Chains A and B, each alone.
Chain A
Amino acid sequence: MSDLLHMKRGSAELAVLAVLEREALHGYEIAKRIEARSGGELRFDVASLYPLLYRLEARGLVKGTWEETPRGRKRRSYRITVSGRKALAPLRKQWRTFFDALELVAGVRGA
């Protein structure tokens, strides 16, 4: 896997875990929350979100459970696991370090 792909995947994982840190959300809400928090800069669609959620679930970082809405629609709600919380801190640190380095090199500032 290329470093660029690693980076892209790592940033997507960070975004999903970060929005799940506060509360459990279902897929569509996760996408909306990320878009809203990033001011529309980060967008997840079906094709990018669900393979990522399933990978995170496979690694035990999130856990999905089925629930039924008041309107009778079934949907899967994801919550961050203890392992997910543990993974979040080093991920944040890595990205902070990355943006600090990028700022030094190219004058690009991180969040």
Chain B
Amino acid sequence: MPDWEQFVGDRLGARFAAAHPEIVLELTGHLEEKYEDLRGKGLSAVAAERRALAQVSDWIRLRKDLERARQGDTMKNQQIRSVWLPGLVSAAAGFGLLRGILAFTGLRDWMFDSRVTELLPFPALERAACIFAIPWIAVLPIAGALGAFVSWRAGGRPGQRVVAALVPELVVAGTALLALPVDIVIGIPRGEWSFAHLPAALFVWILLPAVALTLGSLPLLHLTTLPAQRG
């Protein structure tokens, strides 16, 4: 009698077998029982083995079917593990690094230093915000790379790695969307807000950070997708 567990593991592939040992065990049990059943009916060992092995004609297809079937129950968990949790890591890294830069470089003082801020053609608050954007954009490739890396480790596909990397930007954009109406309502009557600044703000706070995060994730995109872990 062959070592059925070894046989099933080899046929399904080492990576799949490592990720789904319970499936290997279950299929092994089925083949063993089939074999013993056939032996009990008087078939020779060779014939019983051949009939048991005929249970699967295409192991690669079976592996794909099993993966698809398993994905059904873990789809949400898989998305959480490969997109949203890595995204949180990316966001935490981005905000943490930014905070570190502001705390240790004295950049916070520069932000409101008129010798620096007057170089920009915006009102005072926007100037400060723009200078604040520089370290933010500078740390984002690292944050994006970290998010994409964690996503890859969790079995994230290239698209999921990019989304995970972009989560810090989603946080900023979401906050901006919430704050924008308030800012407009308060700022326009006081002459502190102008729609003329909107394109520049979108460029500095949405487009550039998104590019920086995506750039950070790029080296991780060519890596082969790992099998997703079961939840």
Contact = CB atoms under 8 A, between A and B. Distances in A.
B62 interface: yes
Interface residues of B, number: 26
B34 interface: yes
Given A45-B55, A47-B55, A47-B65, A58 B72 contact: yes
A75 B33 CA distance: 11
Interface stretch (A48-56, A80-88, A101-109): A48-56
A26 B26 CA distance: 9
A58 B29 contact: no
B56 A58 contact: no
A46 interface: yes
B63 to A, nearest CB: 10
Contact of B72 (A31, A59, A73, A76): A59
A57 interface: yes
Contacts of A51: 62, 65-66, 68-69
Interface in B156-193: none
Q: How large is the interface on A (under 10, 10 to 19, 20 to 34, 35 or more residues)?
A: 20 to 34
| B25, B29, B30: most-surrounded residue (chain A CB, <10 A) | B30
Contacts of A99: none
B84 to A, nearest CB: 20
A27 B29 contact: yes
Contact of A46 (B25, B31, B74): B31
A47 B56 contact: yes
B23 interface: yes
Nearest to A73: B29
Interface string B65-82: 110111011100000000
A49 to B, nearest CB: 8
A43 to B, nearest CB: 10
Contacts of B58: 47
B15 interface: no
A57 B62 contact: no
A93 interface: no
Given A45-B56, A54-B66, A28 B73 contact: no
Contacts of B73: 54, 57-58
Interface of A: 26-28, 31, 45-47, 49-52, 54-55, 57-59, 66, 73-76
Interface of B: 22-23, 25-27, 29-34, 54-58, 61-62, 65-66, 68-70, 72-74
23 contacts: A26-B29, A28-B29, A31-B30, A45-B56, A46-B30, A46-B31, A46-B55, A47-B55, A49-B30, A50-B30, A50-B66, A51-B65, A51-B66, A51-B68, A52-B69, A54-B66, A54-B69, A58-B72, A59-B72, A66-B22, A75-B26, A75-B29, A76-B26
